[in-house]
């Protein structure tokens, strides 16, 4: 090869390499600028733009007559701009914190420098929105801070909407409260792209606030902020305004709610003053509930729970001492809604369901006679003192049919029904024959009311007893169902548990002729703007077969309760035109505690629109303590007594009348 050809060959190779490099470079440039341009444009935009969610007001909550039960009010909030605060010299930042702490403490907002610093750098808050450090500060402090901005750089005073509960404790356990969303709650709503949440947002924690969170929550606004290379905001690029949440119109009548709460509290106070019956524990009367339901559609008109609380406590964040009080067992759990979370033995109010089982199964007919000699000897049981069960006070009632047995509340009559269902189980439905007839009334199952944490009560069965003993791993636990278990069940004792709402719903089912509704707490959703309201329609949960030959004897017996039976004293003088009340008293025995007083009822019988249940824990006889509470409500509902407007703040009216306080009535 000549010397001239070597340079020529090398030049050729260099040209090939150069061309290859340019081709590779142009290919990469094509990919970056043409193929991947949109992706990199998004990344570049993300590097210079920050998105900030702007909170939206929650919807209001109103009662059925349009009275506002939950609203939003304006709160004066001291806030700190985190970005500008972090850019302050350390010494100046410390001076600002010391001065701000002094001013906040002076107006009754106790905070420390360390606490304030921690709040400012709380990761729940965006860097690009003011961080609230104190709410509900006085207007004087707002003016002072605005006049001394040079002493408080990075500190601003904002006005923001916060929840307001103008009726205080009234219906608190129904309405619930809101609080800052937890990480667990945030993960549960992570898929909500229409109304996205951040860790700084409020969310419904209980009651209607929680049950209808999706409707009440507004749609947050969105602010797009351009930032510089250091991440500091430069300008607002665009902003979408927030949209308020929908208003919820409840079935609750706040005036009736106020009367229910007042009468319940007064009834418990009267029970505490009454001496216990012989051999019983004192009447502690610590908890109770009242439910008023419309039998025609399942709407809950009032739901009182005692003890209760003021949801305004949670508005600006609850402190440790307040939370400790509300959760201390010694205070009987004010946050519980005892109407759906209280599980009590029903006592003789259960006899409605036992009577239905006896008639519907053919075990008895309306004119079947049982002789009540004052008690009942369990067949085949000998020697054990529990073999014989006596009526309250040992009363002997003689010849009884089912209507009269309900009116006077003969335990012996219904003991016999329970025993016969077990002794004749081969022809009456097997081991759980009586339970099969009672389940249709909703006993032992949640009612379906759209409030969280509802408990199911308990309708015990032989299988339940076996499983319960197995769960205890206790060889002394008797897992065999016996005749005595059926006897106890028939009068609402033993292992039977019901909630006040279940019992009211069961009596409402009898009142309307057999339709069991899912109780409703809301009747309408009203979206913001000009959108049409959305009705909450009644939901049928089941049907109970109530032919006349079954319903009429039971109804006759329950009417007799308020006219000549165990609630006659409480309903003395209740002779309002076209108003007849059917009801049943109950006195449930509890080991080592005073009896639970119970009353379940509905009226007017001619056109039932109100079913009422009253439970008063550790309060004594149902006829003496619970029935007068229901009587006071029926007086107002029938127009015989005025229904006073509910007081704002939830404080009881100065004079709410008297309850029956003397004497006693069995059952």
Note the pLDDT of residue 241.
85
Q: Structure tokens of 480? A: 């065999």
Q: pLDDT category, 132, cuts 50, 70, 90?
A: confident
Percentages helix, strand, coil for the chain (3-state, rounded to 5) are: 40, 20, 40
- Looking at CATH, the fold of the domain delimited by 51-172+219-250 is given as Penicillin-binding protein 2a (Domain 2) (3.90.1310)
Of 341-355, 525-539, 628-642, 653-667, which range is least confident? 653-667
> 254-650: which CATH number, 3.40.50.1220, 3.40.710.10, 3.90.1300.10, 2.40.50.140?
3.40.710.10
pLDDT, tens digit, 9 for 90 and up, residues 463-522: 999 999 999 989 899 999 999 999 999 999 999 999 999 999 999 999 999 999 999 999
| CA 444 to chain CA centroid, nearest Å | 18
Is the pLDDT at 610 greater than 70? The verdict is yes
pLDDT top residue among 619 and 3: 619
Identify the three-state secondary structure at position 390. strand
Query: For 264-275, what is the mean pLDDT?
Result: 94
Query: For 341-346, what is the mean pLDDT?
Result: 97
User: Distance (Å, rounded) from C-alpha 347 to C-alpha 361?
Assistant: 22
CB 442 within 8 A of CB 507: no
Is the pLDDT at 43 greater than 60? The verdict is no
Print the SS3 string covering 98-118.
HHHHHHHHHCCCCCCHHHHHH
Is the pLDDT at 198 greater than 80? The verdict is yes
Of 94-98, 222-226, 326-330, 662-666, which range is least confident? 662-666
Of 23-32, 145-154, 300-309, 423-432, which range is least confident? 23-32
Q: Structure tokens of 137? A: 């500060």
pLDDT, tens digit, 9 for 90 and up, residues 53-92: 778 899 999 999 999 999 999 888 888 888 888 888 989 9
User: Distance (Å, rounded) from C-alpha 271 to C-alpha 596?
Assistant: 11
Q: pLDDT category, 667, cuts 50, 70, 90?
A: confident
Note the pLDDT of residue 109.
87
The residues, ordered by sequence, that sit 6+ positions from 311 with a Cβ below 8 Å of its Cβ are: 163, 165, 172, 175, 176, 177
pLDDT, tens digit, 9 for 90 and up, residues 152-165: 998 888 888 889 99
155 strand-pairing partners: 80
Note the pLDDT of residue 454.
97
Q: pLDDT category, 29, cuts 50, 70, 90?
A: low
Query: For 207-216, what is the mean pLDDT?
Result: 97
Identify the three-state secondary structure at position 601. strand
Q: pLDDT category, 655, cuts 50, 70, 90?
A: very low
How long a stretch of residues is the chain?
A: 667
Is the pLDDT at 653 greater than 60? The verdict is no
**Core vs surface per residue 178-216: b (16+ CB within 10 A) or e:** bbebeeebeeebeeeeebebeebbbbbbbbbbbbbbebb
| CA 570 to chain CA centroid, nearest Å | 31
User: Distance (Å, rounded) from C-alpha 510 to C-alpha 582?
Assistant: 10
Element (H, E) at 509: helix 500-512
Q: pLDDT category, 654, cuts 50, 70, 90?
A: very low
Q: pLDDT category, 18, cuts 50, 70, 90?
A: confident
User: Distance (Å, rounded) from C-alpha 311 to C-alpha 335?
Assistant: 10
Give the E-state strand segments of 352-436 in sequence order.
370-372, 375-377, 388-390, 398-400
Is the pLDDT at 23 greater than 90? The verdict is no
249 phi, psi to nearest 5 deg: -100, 120
Note the pLDDT of residue 232.
62
Note the pLDDT of residue 665.
57
| CA 578 to chain CA centroid, nearest Å | 35
User: Distance (Å, rounded) from C-alpha 203 to C-alpha 348?
Assistant: 42
CB 628 within 8 A of CB 590: no
662 strand-pairing partners: none
The residues, ordered by sequence, that sit 6+ positions from 409 with a Cβ below 8 Å of its Cβ are: 348, 351, 392, 561, 565, 566, 584, 585, 666, 667
User: Distance (Å, rounded) from C-alpha 115 to C-alpha 105?
Assistant: 13
* Strand pairing category for 61-62 and 247-250: parallel
């Amino acid at each position: 090869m000549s010397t001239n050809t070597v340079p020529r060959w090398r030049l050729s190779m260099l040209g090939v390499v150069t061309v290859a490099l340019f081709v590779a470079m142009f290919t990469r440039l094509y990919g970056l600028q043409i193929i991947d341009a949109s992706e990199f444009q998004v990344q570049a935009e993300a590097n210079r733009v920050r998105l900030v969610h702007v909170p939206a007001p929650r919807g209001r909550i109103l009662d059925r007559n349009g009275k506002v039960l939950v609203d939003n009010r304006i709160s004066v909030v001291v806030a700190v701009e985190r970005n500008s605060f972090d850019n302050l010299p350390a010494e100046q930042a410390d001076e600002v914190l010391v001065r701000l702490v002094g001013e906040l403490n002076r107006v009754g907002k106790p905070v420390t420098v360390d606490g304030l610093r921690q709040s400012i750098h709380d990761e729940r808050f965006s860097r690009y929105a003011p961080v609230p450090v104190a709410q509900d500060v006085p207007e004087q402090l707002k003016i002072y801070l605005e006049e001394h901005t040079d002493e408080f750089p990075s500190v601003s005073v904002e006005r923001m909407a916060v929840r307001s509960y103008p009726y205080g404790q009234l219906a608190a356990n129904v309405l619930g409260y809101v609080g800052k969303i937890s990480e667990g709650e945030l993960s549960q709503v992570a898929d909500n792209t229409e109304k996205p949440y951040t860790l700084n947002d409020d969310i419904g924690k209980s009651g209607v606030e929680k049950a209808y969170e999706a409707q009440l929550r507004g749609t947050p606004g969105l602010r797009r902020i351009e930032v510089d290379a250091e991440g500091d905001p430069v300008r607002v690029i665009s902003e979408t305004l927030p949209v308020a949440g929908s208003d919820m119109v409840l079935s609750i009548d706040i005036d009736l709610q106020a009367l229910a709460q007042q009468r319940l509290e007064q009834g418990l106070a009267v029970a505490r003053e009454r001496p216990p019956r012989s051999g019983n524990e004192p009447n502690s009367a610590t908890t109770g509930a009242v439910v008023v339901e419309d039998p025609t559609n399942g709407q809950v008109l009032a739901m009182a729970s005692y003890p209760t609380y003021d949801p305004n406590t949670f508005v600006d964040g609850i402190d440790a001492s307040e939370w400790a009080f509300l959760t201390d067992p010694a205070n009987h759990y004010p946050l519980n809604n005892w109407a759906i979370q209280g599980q009590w033995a029903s006592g003789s109010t259960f006899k409605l369901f036992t009577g239905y089982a006896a008639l519907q199964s053919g075990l008895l007919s309306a004119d079947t006679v049982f002789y009540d000699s004052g008690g009942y000897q369990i067949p085949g049981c000998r020697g054990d003192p529990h073999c014989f069960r006596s009526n309250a006070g040992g009363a002997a009632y003689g010849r009884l049919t089912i209507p009269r047995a309900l009116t006077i509340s003969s335990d012996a009559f219904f003991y016999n029904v329970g025993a016969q269902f077990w002794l004749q189980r081969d022809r009456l439905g097997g081991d759980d024959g009586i339970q099969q007839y009672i389940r249709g009334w909703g006993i032992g199952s949640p009612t379906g009311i759209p409030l969280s944490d509802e408990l199911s009560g308990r309708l015990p069965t032989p299988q339940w007893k076996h499983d319960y003993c197995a769960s205890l791993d206790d060889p002394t636990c008797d897992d065999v169902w016996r005749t005595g278990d059926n006897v106890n069940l028939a009068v609402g004792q033993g292992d039977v548990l019901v909630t006040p709402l279940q019992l009211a719903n069961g009596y409402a089912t009898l009142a309307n002729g057999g339709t069991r509704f899912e109780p409703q707490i809301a009747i309408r959703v009203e979206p913001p703007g000009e959108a049409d309201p959305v009705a909450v329609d009644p939901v049928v949960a089941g049907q109970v077969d109530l032919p006349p030959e079954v319903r009429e004897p039971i109804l006759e017996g329950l009417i007799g309760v308020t006219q000549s039976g165990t609630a006659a004293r409480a309903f003395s003088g209740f002779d309002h035109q076209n108003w007849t009340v059917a009801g049943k008293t109950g006195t449930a025995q509890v080991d080592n505690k005073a009896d639970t007083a119970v009353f379940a009822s509905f009226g007017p019988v001619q056109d039932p629109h109100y079913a009422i249940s009253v439970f008063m824990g550790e309060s004594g006889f149902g006829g003496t303590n619970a029935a007068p509470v229901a009587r006071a409500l029926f007086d107002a509902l029938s127009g015989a007594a005025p229904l006073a407007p509910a007081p704002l703040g939830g404080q009881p009216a100065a004079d709410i009348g008297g309850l029956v306080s003397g004497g006693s009535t069995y059952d």
